[in-house]
Chain A
């Protein structure tokens, strides 16, 4: 009797756990993301514009834009109207795209080591190491399980969290100049980045 009970619990636990753990783990998600990106970057036959378009697509597949926006605003996300949230998400995405897609020229080879993954509930941390020239750069991906897959919402490079950086700056700007002040600055930045 006791054995059947245990068996049922085990089976139950297994089935309950399956939806999360049967999926490719966070480390696999990061691996396929990095591999896809490097493949595009290394492709000699592709033009810069094609690469940008391709990578922008990947960004939407592997990143959780919503979680990133939400975390960037922190408390101010809760205080924002739905329109403000949408507007912010749009501008923030544009800034990220312009910032990082304009950097693909800087890429000059390198390899990535995948070190370990840590999972807790619907969150995960994946540690990697980027190796290029004489540099070793620890890069940590922070992920959430969302809509059936693991998605990145923060990148921590040598202990510096990207989202934390944005949050500190944006929060300070909202505090001083309100949402409209932040949006104005963001629009200016997007315009400058697109032009330059």
Chain B
């Protein structure tokens, strides 16, 4: 199986290296045109106003990466290339119809029949089973604290949490899930998106993240559980319906408010992925300090001690 996968990874690597850049660190003016794509106003410095980053060199040096948040204020919008926009818009249109006329009605019916706690439990169950994806990628990204968190959560939730139906790791110990996927792993090692892709049914993705999703599917326990392919699809469909039933009309809101929902979602997606790849802005220690000052229950602390 790995043999089949390798050429794909290598091919992907070659494609990516053409447009590889560490996005958050790229200075505004030296933006690689390949990364800029049709979204940005390329090259030209954005708003020639008083916020001038390079006068504060000394300040930056004092605080290191602390100031990145300030410096990206005036960066041009160079988020994701979209050379296949007409095709993507086509798929987006189909997905939109599928959402409104198939998935959403089904999810609404399901929501009417199954009470919320059961749906939350189903969602917990699937999240728990997806631990290998998150833990594996945390390891690949050398984020040992996150790996520890996921391992801890898996052990606690699989036992005390009755096979993952409940999430005592969050509700009792305050240890939250740390999302991680292979697209993100590629991103942390400097791979760019390549280009934006709207996948049928799945939705927004990119060459990099789509490859990531494919690679991640090999860490899916269902794949090795011996269920038939049709059943596997059924399980996926159930998982998606369940998740949709817990959603509070996010997509409806975007469609109602945005001038062009396609552009809005493309930008949100690119920004969100960039944030997931960058350093976390919020230190979990700060958040949990009031509740767990001693942090005996919090394995994040144990890992941070020697990391």
Contacts of B49 on A, CB cut-off 8 Å? 70
| A140 (CB) vs chain B CBs: closest residue | B281
Chain A residues with CB below 8 A from B286, complex form: 115-116
Q: Within residues 243 to 276 of chain B, which ones have a CB less than 8 A from any CB in chain A?
A: 248, 253, 256-260, 263-264, 266-268, 271-272, 274-276
Q: Which residues of B contact A106 (CB under 8 A)?
A: 248
10 more contacts with CB within 8 A, not counting A168-B267, A171-B39, A171-B77, are A74-B41, A103-B253, A115-B282, A115-B287, A118-B69, A168-B40, A169-B259, A169-B263, A172-B260, A192-B256
* Bound-complex Cα distance A136 to B179 (A): 13
Is the CB–CB distance between B271 and A165 below 8 Å?
yes
- Summed over the interface, the residue pairs from A and B with CB atoms below 8 Å come to a total of 109
B259 touches A170 (CB 8 A): yes
Complex: A103 Cα to B249 Cα, angstroms: 12
Whether A129 sits at the interface, judged by CB under 8 Å, is yes
Chain B interface: which of A13-21, A50-58, A156-164? A156-164
A186 and B260 alpha carbons, distance in the complex (Å): 10
A147 within 8 A of B: no
A79–chain B nearest beta-carbon distance, Å: 10
A104 to B132, CA, bound (A): 39
Q: How far is the CA of A129 from the CA of B274 in the complex (A)?
A: 20
Report yes or no: B47 in contact with A172, Cβ–Cβ below 8 A: no
Q: Which residues on the A side are within 8 Å of B282 (C-beta)?
A: 115, 127, 129, 138
A114 CB to closest chain B CB, in angstroms? 11
Instruction: Please determine whether B47 and A159 come into contact, CB atoms closer than 8 angstroms.
Output: no
Most buried by A among B50, B77, B275: B77
A116, A138, A167, A185: the one contacting B259 at CB < 8 Å is A185
| A74 contacts across to B, CB distance below 8 A | 41, 46-47, 76-77
A168 touches B48 (CB 8 A): no
**Interface pair A159/B275, CB less than 8 Å apart:** yes
A82 on interface, CB distance cutoff 8 Å: no
Distance to closest chain B CB from A147 (angstroms): 15
Question: Which residue of B has the minimal Cβ distance to A135?
Answer: B248
Contact present for B41 and A75 (CB under 8 Å): yes
Give the distance in Å from the alpha carbon of A167 to the alpha carbon of B136 in the complex.
36
Instruction: Report which B residues bind A (CB closer than 8 A).
Output: 38-41, 44, 46-51, 56, 59, 66-67, 69-70, 73, 76-77, 79, 120, 170, 176, 248, 253, 256-260, 263-264, 266-268, 271-272, 274-276, 278, 281-282, 286-287
Verify B39–A160 contact, CB threshold 8 A: no
Binary CB contact string for chain A from 99 to 113 against chain B (1 if under 8 A, 0 otherwise):
100010010000001
Distance (whole angstroms) from the CB of A84 to the closest CB of chain B = 16
Interface centre among A75, A173, A189, by most B CB within 10 Å? Answer: A75
Give the residue of B47, B70, B264, B271 whose beta carbon is less than 8 angstroms from that of A75: B47
Interface residue A134 (Cβ < 8 Å from any Cβ of B): yes
**CA A103 to CA B259, docked complex, whole Å:** 17
Residues of A within 8 A of B (CB): 70-71, 74-78, 95, 99, 103, 106, 113, 115-116, 118, 120-123, 125, 127, 129, 134, 136, 138, 140, 142, 158-161, 164-165, 167-173, 182, 185-186, 189, 192-193, 196
Q: Are A167 and B48 in contact (CB-based, < 8 A)?
A: no
Inter-subunit contact A120/B170 (CB<8 Å): no
Choose among B79, B260, B274 the residue with the greatest number of A CB atoms under 10 Å from its CB. B260
Q: Judge whether A172 and B263 touch: CB under 8 Å.
A: yes
| Known contacts A120-B56, A167-B77; A172 and B258 CB within 8 A of each other | no
User: Which residues from A are CB-within-8-Å of B69?
Assistant: 118, 125, 140
**Centre residue among B40, B59, B278 by max chain A CB count within 10 A:** B40
| A120-B59, A170-B259, A193-B256 given; A160·B271 CB < 8 A | yes
Chain B residues with Cβ below 8 Å from A127 are 281-282
For A164, the chain B residues whose CB sits under 8 A away are 77, 267, 271
Contact B275 A158 (CB under 8 A): yes
Bound form: Cα–Cα A169–B263 in Å: 5
Q: Report if A172-B275 is in contact (Cβ < 8 Å); known contacts: A120-B67, A142-B73.
A: no
Q: Report how far A108 CA is from B296 CA in the complex, Å.
A: 33
7 A–B contacts, CB within 8 A, in A order:
A113-B287, A118-B70, A120-B70, A127-B281, A160-B268, A165-B264, A189-B257
Q: How far is the CA of A31 from the CA of B1 in the complex (A)?
A: 55
Collect the chain A residues with CB atoms within 8 Å of residue B266's CB.
168
